[in-house]
Amino acid sequence: MILLSIRGITYAQQSFYDLEPDLDHPKKLPFMTGLIVWKASLFYICEVKIKPLHSFFFSIKFTFMKKSFLPILTLTGVFILFSLAGCKPKNAGDATGSDAASRVYVPPGKYDELYNFVSGGFSGQVSVYGIPSGRLLRVIPVFSVNPESGYGYSEETKPMLNTSHGEVPWGDQHHLELSQTNGEIDGRWLFANENNTPRVARIDLKTFRTAEIIEIPNSAGNHSSPFITENTEYVVAGTRFSVPMDYENGDVPIDSYKKDFKGTISFISVSPKDGEMKIAFQLLLPGMNFDLSHSGKGPSSGWFFFSTYNSEQAHTLLEVNASKRDKDYILAVNWKKAEEYFKAGKGKKVPVKYAHNTYSDTSHSATSSIETESTIIDAKDFPDIVYMIPCPKSPHGCDVDPSGQYIVGSGKLAALIPVFSFDKIQKAIAAKDFDGDYGGIPVIKYESALYGEVKKPGLGPLHTEFDGKGNAYTTFFISSEIVKWSLKDLKVIDRHATYYSPGHLMIPGGDTKKPYGKYLIAYNKITKDRYLPTGPELSQSAQLFDISGDKMKLLADYPSIGEPHYAQAVSAELISKNSTKIFKIEENKNPYVTLGEPKSKVVRNGNRVDVYMTMIRSHFSPDNIEGVKLGDDVYFHLTNLEQDWDVPHGFAVKGANTAELLVMPGETQTLKWTPQIAGIYPIYCTDFCSALHQEMQGYVRVSAKGSNIPISFSLGKNSEAADSLLKK
Ligand code: K7E
Ligand code: CUA
């Protein structure tokens, strides 16, 4: 036993040196060794229920249990690596090449080469960076209200956050995908998913605004989303959580999982003309967790690939119970076939409820409607739509190379990377080279689909992108590094430490037919000592690498907003040339628009007061309002009359319990305000718009409930009473 433990330590140390030659380990090693011997013997003797020192450790143990000394070797290896992953590399501070600064330096007044769109995770937003500078250009509110612009607070944008559960003001945003034509980024739209209350958004890249949000019925934890087909025909959305379907009784015992819980993959069609989304059909699948996906391309266009885990169908303590089987599955979905069945009316129409919200750039308003029907195609009834491919150890990432031939699965608990071949998958299907079925879905034999395995690449592979030069780059969460390997012979070519524990990585166009293999960005989960401490919470970080040569070179790191998961990047030119600068005032179709100062007015209707107000440098019209009474709801309809780029005006009124609003040139936005106390309320512009911005202000008088002060409004005029006072 001791011998085995020692072998375990040696093995682990060796792999550790292989992986991280620079790490400053000696201080930790004696302590670690003791711990490992202790743990190894404990495992060997007991072989059952031991309080885990670390939950990850525990799950691995469980999986490998009862396989002689293999567990000890693996465990000690993982443990050493995991424990040391937090060690600070000797040269962490100067890990960049001497020319790094010049590679990321964008001189003042010059533009970045690329736009980088980065998911905001639990912030529910999307941020936009310039690459290579790493400068933050904008935060786009998508699934979360935004105090900067008033998104989700203005009457016009509130409907964007409507769902079948009512208004959901914050979301969890993980993945982004730029629209494509022929497998290349076309610069029209950016799609974003929301995990928690399943939704998919489309962002218009002319305005950098959320144009549409569609909710996904029969779904929970919309994680394998919003990946798209080669020509943006469909955006897919797969359930992370299996649940009872919306059209069935969901009030069932949780332990009826195996019987009542199902997974779905939704195909959302995208109109090629204006991008409008529609849920076309939903594939019904056995209950388990669907994780990530990517569409096929080239030879595999017409197919979609999804990683799944929890084929154990566990509903409690998944870290153990969903890690028991040696392999879970990658799903190969023939979506062209499924579409054929759908168009032939083979699906089953079911009653559901989901919101569909769209924003118009002419009415400057969103509308939300509730849809009530969806079409379900039960995969097990159509034997030629879905196939399952065994994939080692709880796969997470599922990535397709630029040629469309290779599908890479990344088992979070695996010590290798399996690469599947599309040709072999097709041959196996034709030859019915199956190994039984899973929930009625044929399972292709692992070897029959496998192109090969990348051996000993690192620990905890998560996501892979491609450089278009025959190389793949995979993030390793546990061993905290990016590993470059060759698609041709599956040999590891290079590895570089990340600081620390990367999740996704991104190469511009790295999941398309035409990657731009100059840069790679790792999005790291743990920041630790990289920046000045900011209390218990540190921002997550992005790290930019130069991958134009044989060896990866770290160029820069910079903080990110929320938690970055997936990201996309594209040549700036493709997007900047179409960027909207103003909204034309003559095209403003908002029902509450005020087309010119003379048209501004205040109108009472019962206890509703509508203020038609204009904004221009540097005043509001009107700027004095009287006659508002307690019990009134006041709607400030603000039209920015400017027709110049980059001249927004803001609006705030004392006591308003929503945000202030920022109104773009030519746009109309409405703030609802319900004053609570009689008195005088200042209003002012919140965006420094001109030299006399501080003068852009006014007053609203609020009177008691039964008062008989009539509505009046003015700009630049004193009342007779005021004038006579002035004369005295
Ligand atoms: Cu790996 Cu939600 Cu794409 Cu994050 S997920 S890392
Ligand atoms: Cu308008 Cu400041």
Q: Which 8-state DSSP code applies to residue 23?
A: B
Residue 433: alpha-carbon gap to chain centroid: 37
Q: Give the pLDDT means over successive 10-residue stretches in the chain (728 positions).
A: 37 39 38 40 34 40 41 46 44 61 95 98 97 97 96 98 98 98 98 98 98 98 97 98 97 97 98 98 97 97 97 95 93 98 98 98 98 98 96 95 98 93 98 96 98 96 98 97 98 97 98 98 95 93 97 96 97 98 98 97 98 98 98 98 98 92 98 98 98 98 97 89 71
Q: Are strands 624-629 and 619-621 parallel, antiparallel or unpaired?
A: unpaired
Which ligand 1 atom sits closest to the C-alpha of 565? 4
Which ligand 2 atom sits closest to the C-alpha of 693? 2
pLDDT at 657: 86
**φ/ψ (deg, to 5) at 29:** -65, -45
Q: Is 227 in the pocket of ligand 1 (CB under 6 A)?
A: no
Q: Is 462 in the pocket of ligand 1 (CB under 6 A)?
A: yes
Provide the token pair at 699: 């007053």
Q: Is 504 in the pocket of ligand 1 (CB under 6 A)?
A: yes
pLDDT at 717: 87
How far is 209 from 160, CA to CA, in rounded Å? 11
pLDDT at 96: 63
What separation in Å is there between the alpha carbon of 194 and the centre of ligand 1?
A: 12
pLDDT at 658: 83
How far is 423 from 540, CA to CA, in rounded Å? 40
pLDDT at 728: 63
pTM: 0.88
Please give all residues whose beta carbon lies within 6 A of any atom in ligand 2, as ranges.
618, 649, 685, 687-689, 693, 696
Omega into 536 within 30° of 0, i.e. cis?
A: no
**φ/ψ (deg, to 5) at 17:** -65, -40
Q: Are strands 519-524 and 502-506 parallel, antiparallel or unpaired?
A: antiparallel
What separation in Å is there between the alpha carbon of 31 and the centre of ligand 2?
A: 63
Q: Is the dihedral of CA 330, 332, 335, 340 positive or negative?
A: negative
Which ligand 1 atom sits closest to the C-alpha of 397? 1
pLDDT at 369: 98
Instruction: Name, in order, each residue with C-beta under 8 angstroms of 109's C-beta and a sequence gap of 6 or more.
Output: none
Answer whether 479's CB lies under 8 Å from 459's CB.
Answer: yes
